[in-house]
Amino acid sequence: MTEGNFVDYVKIHVASGNGGKGSAHLHREKYIAKGGPDGGDGGRGGHVILRGSKNLWTLFHLKFKRHVKAGHGEHGSKQRSTGADGEDQYIDVPLGIVIRDTETQEILHEITDDGQEIIVAEGGMGGQGNWHFKSSTNQTPRYAQPGIPGQEVDITLELKILADVGLVGFPNAGKSTLLSVITAAKPKIADYEFTTLKPNLGIVEYRDFKTFVVADIPGIIEGAAEGRGIGHRFLRHIERNSTLLFLIPADAPDISEQYDILVDELRRYNPELLDKDRLVAISKSDMLDTELQAELKVELDKNLKTPYLFISSVAQKGLTELKDKLWEMLNRKQED
């Protein structure tokens, strides 16, 4: 999937169908002059329904579809015939969708399971026909109920990536390079900041045909929690990752300080993110000789309170150990 095709935020106007009118018909036949009321009920208006699909990864198919309208219910007719229900409109969405009311920004629903269905606009009920109102004192009612109008609502769909591991780091830390090496994903890679502007997903093939999913989150900058840049759009994709892998380059001025800044950004955005398992990978470690790495290890053991390891995507260094550690963390999380 190309970066331009990844859409994680759309606004849609949805309208359900009106209920059909009940019939006020009076029964007539050749030898039955006054057969009484036999008007049928109106049909229900169509619903607008969101449906989770594991085969979708983006909201691109909704990028240019900003209005969705369900069918109206048919009117009732004679011989107590009920009108047909209006046609429901289904909107397939990827798993991990959050549905908000566009006006109030209130979260209405979330879809995380394949096949899960949420009615976001209910169709109006059909009106009752006149035979419902027949009584001993009113044997020929000449009225019926109108159908109930449908609902109209503006909703916002936000995609939060569902992945096992989320890559967290500053721009140009080597996240996309790592993803391209340990998975079959082909993210855009270049030697400048903010190469990645949309999340990328990749599947890591582990031992014995086991797999787990890694998400490359666009680089976080200091102040992202306050919305600096497009920080909120980056950070929300981390919320559903089971484990966070912090990637900090070996040539960073202060690795511990960079880690603390990243953790602080997550804390300010959503303190619950700090409850996730964390692992630090020191990338680009092929630039370190044995002596430098030993010195850096002494410093990290003293200042860094989170498990860490040295890796190099280019030199294929430490990647097997990284996969082993991530697999261990993911399965420990599941057992807990």
Where in the sequence of the chain do the CATH 2.70.210.12 domains occur?
3-159
- Strand spans (E) along the chain: 9-15, 48-53, 67-69, 89-94, 97-101, 107-111, 117-121, 152-159, 165-168, 200-205, 211-216, 243-249, 277-283, 308-310
User: Looking at the domain that runs over 165-335, which CATH code has it been given?
Assistant: 3.40.50.300
Which secondary-structure segment (H or E) carries 296? helix 290-303
Please tell me the distance from the alpha carbon of residue 125 to that of residue 86, in angstroms, as a whole number: 10
Where in the sequence of the chain do the CATH 3.40.50.300 domains occur?
165-335
Per-residue pLDDT of the chain (336 residues; tens, 9 = 90+): 444 566 778 999 999 999 999 999 888 877 777 778 888 999 999 999 999 998 887 888 898 888 999 999 999 998 889 999 999 999 999 888 999 999 998 999 999 899 999 999 999 999 999 888 888 888 888 889 999 999 999 999 988 777 788 888 887 777 878 888 887 655 443 343 334 446 677 778 888 878 888 887 776 655 544 444 444 556 677 777 889 999 998 888 889 998 998 888 888 888 888 888 999 999 988 888 888 889 898 989 888 888 999 998 888 888 999 999 999 998 875 555
Q: What superfamily does domain 3-159 belong to in CATH?
A: GTP1/OBG domain (2.70.210.12)
CB atoms within 10 A of CB 282: 25
The answer to whether the beta carbons of residues 157 and 59 sit under 8 Å apart is: yes
Q: Which of 70, 49, 68, 69 is nearest to 10 (CA)?
A: 68
> What pTM was estimated for this model as a whole?
0.67
Please tell me the distance from the alpha carbon of residue 76 to that of residue 67, in angstroms, as a whole number: 28
